[in-house]
Amino acid sequence: MSKIKSKFVCNECGYETPKWMGKCPGCHAWNTMTEHVERAGKRRGGLGGRNAAIPVQEKPRPIHEVESASDPRIRTKIVELDRVLGGGIVPGSLTLVGGDPGIGKSTLLLQTSHMLAEQGLKVLYISGEESARQTKLRADRLGISSPNLYVLCETDLELMQASIDELKPDLLIVDSIQTVYLPQLESAPGSVSQVRECTSHFMRIAKVSGIATILVGHVTKEGAIAGPRLLEHMVDTVLYFEGDRHHTYRMLRAVKNRFGSTNEMGIFEMSESGLREVVNPSEIFLSERPRGVSGSVVVASMEGTRPVLVELQALVAKTSFPSPRRTATGVDHNRLVLIMAVLEKRLGLYMQHYDAYINVAGGLKLDEPAVDLAIAISLVSSFRDIPADSGDVVFGEVGLTGEVRAVSRVEQRVKEAEKLGFRRVIVPQKSLKGWQPPKGIEVIGVQTVQEALAVVLGEGE
């Protein structure tokens, strides 16, 4: 009889140890060690003899002798999704899609399957969490009915492989990878070893057969994809589908993309008939903007190659507690603290006894330094109770000495502001070099935060 071995594996990072530990030495998480039992000498390479037929031996070659292959991308006809993917789905690629439960991952992939099936491509949608009738109910609600879209409800990887070999689809979708299990492994589905081995097998399917494969992954309470970190290193593209349940808008971001940029973002709106693309997100985010209210400033931010105008709101209120609060929603909390320190040191605005709150309207997250100037102006506007001009757009990076530094893609930001009818744009002075501002909008360059406040709020301090 084969010898039985037991080991403990961390569910967060995949760290292995022969004995149980309360705290993982790898990721320092508590109570994440689970026991895994396996038999020594048992083959763990995959599905029996199928992998043995895969040609894996190849001799080293000089790089100039390797053929340059540029496979045509598969256009999904969903513009926002194609933008995030870098122009479409690459044949033979492995994509991982993560997001909170109920955020719309299955809806998006089912709509993508329908678009590709309408183009004559074979799509195999494997669901491990829903029955065929449940998938059909969602398809009826979305108006999806195509003879090229095949649905399989299965969790056994061996049976999945048999269906893939028989159908030979152009696109394979697995929802979700945490429900798939390999019978050769004795651990439960969703464990670290099962997720790792199953993902490795789907990677071989994609690379050897040339089938574009999309895996759906669950996320932890911290927002990261559940399972070992190795999972994100194995795939070609990692997409996060995020958004607030209380808002109808969803953002699709690329965290990793071997075939395109990781700075792109797609915006969708959830409706009864599924996800709809938001063609002009700036109009959506500014549709409910109040006029003549202090603390409200419009900032031009870049999401990849797309300029987005959003409303930044600030509230500075006096507090009776010895330690004032600093709360930021949609922007980095550390940037808020830093900019408040600059305002106190360089401009003499003492806010030690005031709470400060910053919010990006619409649920969007801004992580570029170009929003610094808008944060500073909105804080001063609320602190002084002086409304900013509703026709102004500001952007620029703020340094520790109070200077306004140049940012990238200034021309695109200004053109977006002009298209939406704004009258003035306050930009860093050094960003005015090398391009000609449009005639329909006034562009004002500033060198310091003090100059920007004088232009927007009329503050001379």
Q: In sequence order, which residues have a C-beta less than 8 Å from that of residue 353 and are 6 or more positions away?
A: 318, 319, 324
Q: Residue 108 in 3-state DSSP? A: helix
Q: Which helix (H) or strand (E) holds 200?
A: helix 192-209
Q: Is the dihedral of CA 119, 124, 130, 132 positive or negative?
A: positive
How far is residue 281's CA from residue 309's CA, in Å, rounded to a whole number? 8
Task: Tell whether residue 332 is among the known ligand binding residues.
Answer: no
In sequence order, the β-bridge partners of residue 317 are: 355
Give the end-to-end CA distance of the chain in Å, rounded to a whole number: 84
Q: Quick check: bond before 176 cis, omega within 30?
A: yes
Task: Tell whether residue 62 is among the known ligand binding residues.
Answer: no
Dihedral-angle region of residue 350 (phi above 0 means left; psi in -120 to 50 means alpha; beta otherwise):
beta
How far is residue 197's CA from residue 77's CA, in Å, rounded to a whole number? 33
Task: Tell whether residue 45 is among the known ligand binding residues.
Answer: no
Task: Tell whether residue 165 is among the known ligand binding residues.
Answer: no
The bridge status of strand 33-39 relative to strand 4-10 is: antiparallel
How far is residue 25's CA from residue 23's CA, in Å, rounded to a whole number? 6
Place of tokens 């090398």: 434
CB–CB of 417/282 below 8 Å?
A: no
For residue 209, which of 149, 161, 151, 159 has the smallest C-alpha distance? 161
Task: Give the relative orientation of helices 157-167 and 192-209 as an angle to the nearest 10 degrees.
Answer: 10
Task: Tell whether residue 18 is among the known ligand binding residues.
Answer: no
Residue positions counted in the chain: 461
Q: Phi and psi at residue 156, in whole multiples of 5°?
A: -80, 125
How far is residue 352's CA from residue 269's CA, in Å, rounded to a whole number? 40
How far is residue 452's CA from residue 444's CA, in Å, rounded to a whole number? 9
Q: How far is CA 135 from CA 99, 126, 132, 175, 176, in A?
A: 19, 10, 5, 11, 14
DSSP code, position 74: B
DSSP code, position 219: B
Task: Tell whether residue 323 is among the known ligand binding residues.
Answer: no
260 alpha-carbon distance from chain centroid: 14
Task: Tell whether residue 3 is among the known ligand binding residues.
Answer: no
Task: Tell whether residue 322 is among the known ligand binding residues.
Answer: no
Q: Is the dihedral of CA 29, 17, 224, 372 positive or negative?
A: positive
CB–CB of 313/378 below 8 Å?
A: yes
| Residue numbering of the annotated binding site | 99-106
| Residue numbering of the annotated binding site for ATP | 99-106
